[in-house]
C-alpha cells in the first residue's frame, strides 16, 4: 500500500482521516470516516512495450517488426482505445497517422496523407465512416473495420473483401490482420 497521502503510479487512493469538530473531541462513530483505497492495476508503458517485444518471433515476422515501415491510419473516436492502438502499432514499427477522432478529421487524412494501411471504427460519434472507407478503397489503401456497430455481412456487402474485427479485439489481432493486408 502507498504511503499515506501518496499514490504510486497506477494507483488512485482516497485516504480519509477522522473528522472532528473544531476544538472538540468525540467518540461518536458517525464523526469518523473510513479509509477507502481503490487500486487500478496498470502496466507501466515501458513494461508494456517490453512485453510486446518479449513475445518473440511470429509467422509474419519478429515481434516489434511486423508493421515496420508501414504508415497506418487510425480512425477511432474513443481516446483510450485510439491511444492503445497507436502504441501497439508503433511497438510493431508502424508510423501512425492520426488518430483521427472525427469523420471530418478522418476524411482529411484519407484524402491527403500517405497511408499504407488503416483501421476504421464504423461509428464516429454517431457518424458512419463509410465515406473514408470509400476514399481509401479508391486510393487502393487496404483497411480493417474495427467496430462494435454494424454487421459483418452488411460491411462485406458494402465493401467486398474488407476485414471486420468486432470490438473488443485485442490490438495484437489487429496487428496480425494489418500485417496480412500489408503482405497482400
Q: Which numeric CATH code is attached to 45-183? A: 3.40.50.2300
Q: How many CB atoms neighbour CB 59 within 10 A?
A: 7
The segment(s) of the chain belonging to CATH 3.40.50.2300 are 45-183
| Residues facing residue 118 across a β-bridge | 73, 143
Q: Which three cell numbers stand for residue 172?
A: 495484437
Place of cell 503482405: 183
Residue 63 — very low, low, confident or very high, per pLDDT cuts 50/70/90?
low
Res 27: pLDDT:
52
Residue 64 — very low, low, confident or very high, per pLDDT cuts 50/70/90?
confident
Q: How far is CA 82 from CA 74, 98, 100, 101, 140, in A?
A: 7, 9, 9, 8, 23
pLDDT at 113 over 60: yes
More confident residue, 133 or 61: 133
The pLDDT tens digits for 148-171 are 876 788 898 999 989 999 999 999
The mean pLDDT value of the chain amounts to 77
Residue 143 — very low, low, confident or very high, per pLDDT cuts 50/70/90?
very high
Measured between alpha carbons, how far is 39 from 87 in angstroms, rounded to an integer? 23
The pLDDT tens digits for 6-56 are 444 443 333 333 444 444 454 554 444 444 444 434 334 333 344 444 444
Res 68: pLDDT:
96
pTM for the structure as a whole: 0.67
pLDDT at 121 over 90: yes
Res 59: pLDDT:
40
pLDDT at 144 over 90: yes
Res 62: pLDDT:
59
Amino acid at each position: 500500500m502507498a504511503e499515506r497521502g501518496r499514490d504510486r503510479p497506477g494507483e488512485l487512493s482516497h485516504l480519509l482521516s477522522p473528522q472532528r469538530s473544531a476544538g472538540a473531541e468525540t467518540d461518536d462513530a458517525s464523526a469518523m470516516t473510513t479509509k477507502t483505497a481503490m487500486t487500478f492495476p496498470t502496466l507501466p508503458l515501458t513494461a508494456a512495450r517490453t512485453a510486446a517485444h518479449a513475445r518473440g518471433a511470429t509467422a509474419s515476422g519478429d515481434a516489434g517488426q511486423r508493421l515496420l515501415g508501414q504508415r497506418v491510419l487510425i480512425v477511432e473516436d474513443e481516446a483510450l482505445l485510439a491511444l492503445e492502438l497507436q502504441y501497439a502499432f508503433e511497438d510493431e514499427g508502424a508510423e501512425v497517422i492520426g488518430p483521427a477522432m472525427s469523420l471530418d478529421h478522418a476524411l482529411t487524412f484519407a484524402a491527403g496523407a500517405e497511408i499504407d494501411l488503416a483501421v476504421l471504427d464504423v461509428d464516429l460519434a454517431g457518424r458512419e465512416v463509410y465515406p473514408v472507407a470509400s476514399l481509401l478503397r479508391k486510393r487502393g489503401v487496404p483497411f480493417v473495420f474495427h467496430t462494435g456497430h454494424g454487421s459483418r455481412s452488411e460491411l462485406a456487402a458494402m465493401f467486398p473483401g474488407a476485414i471486420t474485427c468486432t470490438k473488443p479485439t485485442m490490438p495484437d489481432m489487429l496487428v496480425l490482420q494489418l500485417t496480412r493486408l500489408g503482405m497482400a
